[in-house]
């Protein structure tokens, strides 16, 4: 069977994936798989192909092509169109990034990247910072920028870019020009006079409980665990991917977050039982692993595990749910900040949704009688929402009721 026919069949696989994503995979396969590729491909040929391609592809594109090929060959083996998957034995595409020559970047960006690595920034962060600078400067020298040109650039995209995206770009500007000033490349830091970008309200809402539970109960064990870790502990996809059995000590989980930060999160009953079940099933090691290499899965694979069970919601909406529900059930915002691993409290505030019911509860509590001496009904009426009552608060509520009853009996 011709490769084009096989690719057409492959396009119909896994309808839970978006059509845009499936179309993208097919486009990449048609671009790089020739008609006789199935008969002649081998692990050695593919490795040569990727090493050569690494010199001219961007890092993000370099991740997509091997992923599409691997999925295609897995499908072809499963349906007996070929006997062996030629991708077997190859490392992840990211493993070949070292073959891409640094000289492809202007020297100032190469030096900036080295500086960021000395600060232990992740490669994703480094690529984002450099990408932001290159898009701004284009072919011109970024060291010639002024506060005016930086501000005009951010202002000109205010309608197409969210406030959070513009804040990230401004952070790239600050990191780059602070480094350039400290190393003597420029005399003054232009970002000192650059207006800040106020945080906007996140476009992502927390996932609805009915959609969360429907997806959770219909998912296999590994996907259930991903959903629970994100929706009840607020973990990021990368943090979930890096979870290892040695990071669990009883009912406390060690999380390796952004910026090499480590935090410790107590496990609730749900996540504790799921992780113990995974340990019993697959033994020590990464909780989410490649069975062949025993290395952890890529964060994008973690995303896909949950995505196929939560419909149109994204994995980050589960993290928003953890923050919002945590606050509604009695946690203070500083505690939620620690749970999510945010460096700034303002970031945590973006993750927490305030409903009309929340606002109504506040305005009711701040009211007083219309006339002096009039009974305040709100002060003598006690309403308890049992569904949202945290276990830790039950003794406090019982004590308050006891004091209330004793006071009225004495009266």
Active site residues: 236, 258, 316, 319, 342, 351
How many other C-beta atoms are found inside a 10 Å radius of the C-beta of residue 333?
15
Q: Which residue has the tokens 């529900």?
A: 325
| DSSP code at position 244 | B
CA 127/CA 348 separation, integer angstroms: 25
Number of helices (H), then strands (E), in the chain: 20, 3
Q: Give yes or no for a contact between 234 and 294, defined as CB atoms under 8 angstroms apart.
A: no
CA 47/CA 96 separation, integer angstroms: 9
Q: Which residue has the tokens 């995303």?
A: 303
For residue 266, the surrounding DSSP H or E stretch is: strand 262-266
What is the side-by-side strand order in the sheet with 262-266?
Answer: 248-249, 252-256, 262-266
CA 396/CA 344 separation, integer angstroms: 31
Using alpha carbons, list the distances in angstroms from residue 154 to 73, 157, 179, 216, 320.
44, 6, 20, 40, 27
For residue 28, the surrounding DSSP H or E stretch is: helix 19-32
H-only helix segments in 218-263:
221-233, 237-241
CA nearest 73: which of 32, 17, 131, 19? Answer: 32
């Amino acid at each position: 069977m011709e490769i084009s026919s096989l690719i057409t069949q492959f396009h119909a696989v896994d309808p839970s994936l978006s059509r845009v994503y499936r179309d993208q995979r097919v486009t990449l396969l048609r671009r790089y798989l020739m008609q006789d590729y199935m008969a002649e491909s081998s692990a050695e040929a593919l490795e040569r192909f990727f090493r050569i391609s690494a010199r001219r592809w961007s890092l993000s594109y370099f991740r997509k092509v091997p992923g599409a090929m691997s999925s295609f060959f897995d499908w072809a083996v499963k349906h007996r169109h070929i006997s062996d998957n030629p991708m077997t034995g190859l490392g992840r595409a990211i493993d070949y990034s070292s073959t891409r020559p640094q000289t492809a970047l202007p020297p100032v960006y190469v030096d900036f990247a080295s500086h960021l690595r000395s600060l232990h920034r992740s490669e994703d962060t480094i690529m984002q910072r450099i990408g932001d600078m290159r898009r701004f400067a284009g072919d011109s020298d970024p060291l010639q920028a002024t506060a005016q040109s930086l501000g005009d650039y951010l202002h000109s995209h205010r309608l197409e870019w969210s406030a959070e995206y513009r804040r990230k770009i401004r952070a790239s500007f600050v990191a780059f020009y602070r480094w350039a000033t400290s190393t003597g490349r420029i005399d003054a830091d232009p970002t000192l006079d650059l207006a800040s970008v106020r945080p906007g309200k996140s476009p992502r809402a927390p996932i609805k409980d009915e959609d969360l539970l429907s997806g959770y109960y219909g998912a296999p064990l590994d996907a259930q665990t991903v959903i629970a870790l994100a929706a009840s502990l607020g973990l990021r996809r990368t943090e979930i991917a890096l979870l290892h059995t040695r990071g669990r000590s009883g009912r406390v989980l060690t999380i390796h977050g952004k910026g090499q930060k480590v935090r410790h999160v107590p496990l609730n009953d749900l996540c504790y039982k799921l992780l113990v079940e995974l340990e019993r099933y697959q033994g020590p090691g990464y909780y989410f692993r490649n069975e062949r290499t025993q290395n952890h899965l890529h964060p994008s694979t973690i995303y896909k595990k949950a995505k196929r069970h939560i419909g149109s919601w994204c994995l980050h909406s589960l993290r928003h749910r953890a923050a919002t529900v945590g606050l509604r059930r009695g946690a203070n915002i500083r505690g939620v900040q620690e749970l999510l691993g945010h460096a700034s409290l303002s970031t945590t505030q973006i993750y927490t949704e305030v409903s009309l019911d929340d606002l109504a509860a506040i305005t009711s509590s701040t009211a007083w009688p219309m006339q002096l001496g009039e009974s305040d009904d709100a002060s003598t009426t006690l309403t308890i929402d049992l569904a949202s009552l945290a276990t830790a608060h039950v003794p406090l509520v019982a004590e308050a009721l006891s004091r209330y009853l004793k006071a009225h009996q004495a009266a």
